[in-house]
Amino acid sequence: MKRFACGDVVPGCEDVFLGATEDEVLDKALQHAADAHGMTEVSEETMDHARGLVTTVA
């Protein structure tokens, strides 16, 4: 299982996303970024940073 915490990119955000794969988690995070933070476009640099913050959990 993979995990991504939005607060690692957007300080103060407490949303956490879980999924079977990194892509699944990042898809959820991108949708959240648009809905909750108005981030309709995310740079490749930000995506690379977010990808590096995805962790594996038991």
Beta strands 55-56 and 16-19: pairing type? unpaired
Rounded distance between C-alpha atoms, residue 51 and residue 21, angstroms: 11
Cβ neighbours of 33 (radius 10 Å): 22
Q: Which amino acid is at 46?
A: T
Q: Give the strand order in the sheet containing 2-5.
A: 16-19, 2-5, 55-56
Rounded distance between C-alpha atoms, residue 51 and residue 48, angstroms: 5
pLDDT at 58: 84
pLDDT per residue over 7-58, tens digit each?
A: 999 999 999 999 999 999 999 999 999 999 999 999 999 999 999 999 999 8
